Amino acid sequence: MMAKKFLSGNEAFAEGVRLARPQVISAYPITPQTIVVEKLSEMVEDGSLKSEFIHVESEHSALSCAMGASAVGARAFTATSSQGLLYMAECLTYASGGRFPILMMNANRSTALPWNIYGDQRDSISLLDSGWIQAYAENAQEALDLALLGYYIAEKKEISTPYMANLDGFVLTHTYEVVDVPAKEQADEFLPPFETENRLDLEHPRNLGFSAGPDYNTQFKMKEHAGLLKVRDAVTEAEDRFAKIFGRQYTGLTENYRTEDADYVLVTLGSISGLVKETVDALRNAGQKVGLLRLRYLRPFPNQEIAAAVKNAKALAVLEKDISFGNEGTVYTNVVSALHKAGIAIPTANYVGGLGGKNISAADIRQIFEDLSNGQQGLYFVGTGGETG
């Protein structure tokens, strides 16, 4: 039976990892991720999780260690944030190119300079091209569930791709809510033991992590790309299975909230989605036809789901905690590409907010919807009142 616990996002994710029973945990602390590996160390110490808990000397070493574990057929976990994720960047492509289905939790945090420990999403979004599955949790319950879903999806033979579960720093990692924690028996029913042929085996020797010249490199990259594209169907299958066992149904790569007849749609991701839903409800009660499209995954990117959700809208805005300096928000670039490919020509606007942890208020969200209804387009920084190009 499930147990209700009052947990932070970090603690909830640690509970999900415990239920997934990784055989190796490589740990290096960095704010605001530290609590995850601290809790897991306590679980290993008290015997509620049987795992090799390895203290490493850096984030680069943490992912290198996880790759080594995965390369011998072990289920591996690590976690990081911000500059730590950037320090891992070299290893990210090794893990994806090697097709090692590692689970990594990233606590989204601003990147330097200026130095800042608070949450935006520039760390993970800057690494969208690294070949990892990228999911973004809205709340602590989803954070816990992504730990189980992440392994289930990543370890599928046809996918074999590492999975990055992103939690907004402090706003989600350090705030508390009631979470349903599944029983061990439920988790075991959902998530089978990790088995893979992509491992070092003295009885069946093979070469892993090798070089490939021009004649073969493209073929490997095409296979890697194909594996990520298969995640879309795998997410649906995994979530249907998850619902049968745990009673919670998720909605694939995106979540539509009151978009069916919406004239104006706001696209966003992560924990701010909860406030957007409340604002949408309030504006609906006032007679305004608005809706939210939450991006649950950025890789693979939900092109088809976005097109289907906004095909009847009059205008669309993207609110993101990221900017690609000298251009626009990276999420906005991807969303506009999805619209173009679907032949949808509607006005769009890009709102960049939450950088360095700056608060995004309900009034800010209301203003975005008002701007859309007035035909506003362009790039804006939330809370500053200024267009930037």
- Tell me the per-residue pLDDT of 212-240, one tens digit each, with 9 for 90 and over: 999 899 999 999 999 999 999 999 999 99
Please, where are the H alpha helices in 191-341?
214-229, 231-246, 272-285, 303-310, 330-341
What pLDDT is attached to residue 241? 98
Alpha-carbon dihedral of residues 237, 240, 242, 246, nearest 10 degrees? -170
Do 233 and 335 have their domain in common?
no
Query: 194 lies in a domain?
Result: yes
Do 281 and 316 have their domain in common?
yes
How far is the C-alpha of 325 from the C-alpha of 343, rounded, in Å? 27
Do 283 and 369 have their domain in common?
yes
Domain final residue pick, 219, 246, 273 = 246
- Tell me the per-residue pLDDT of 92-122, one tens digit each, with 9 for 90 and over: 999 999 999 999 999 999 999 999 999 999 9
Query: 188 lies in a domain?
Result: yes
What pLDDT is attached to residue 383? 83
How far is the C-alpha of 170 from the C-alpha of 333, rounded, in Å? 27
The distance of Cα 312 from the centroid of its chain, to the nearest Å, equals 28
State the residue range of the domain holding 228. 3-246
- Tell me which residues of the chain have a pLDDT lower than 70: 385-389
Give the CATH number, domain containing residue 174.
Answer: 3.40.50.970
Helix (H) or strand (E) holding 346: none
What pLDDT is attached to residue 41? 98
Do 192 and 239 have their domain in common?
yes
The distance of Cα 9 from the centroid of its chain, to the nearest Å, equals 13
Do 96 and 176 have their domain in common?
yes
pTM of the model: 0.97
Do 263 and 138 have their domain in common?
no
* The total number of structural domains that make up the chain: 2
How far is the C-alpha of 344 from the C-alpha of 354, rounded, in Å? 28
Query: 387 lies in a domain?
Result: no
Domain final residue pick, 184, 217, 246 = 246
Q: State whether residue 104 is helix, strand or coil.
A: strand
Cross-strand bridge partners of residue 379: 350
Q: State whether residue 266 is helix, strand or coil.
A: strand
What pLDDT is attached to residue 387? 53
Domain final residue pick, 185, 214, 246 = 246
Do 219 and 172 have their domain in common?
yes
What pLDDT is attached to residue 248? 96
> What one-character DSSP code corresponds to residue 270?
T
Measured CA angle at 15 (ends 12, 176), to 5 deg: 20
Q: Please answer whether residues 62 and 26 qualify as being in contact, where contact means their C-beta atoms are separated by less than 8 angstroms.
A: yes
Do 182 and 261 have their domain in common?
no
Among candidate residues 323, 317, 307, the one with its CA nearest the CA of residue 253: 307
Query: 386 lies in a domain?
Result: no
Q: State whether residue 145 is helix, strand or coil.
A: helix
What pLDDT is attached to residue 386? 55
What pLDDT is attached to residue 266? 98
Do 171 and 277 have their domain in common?
no
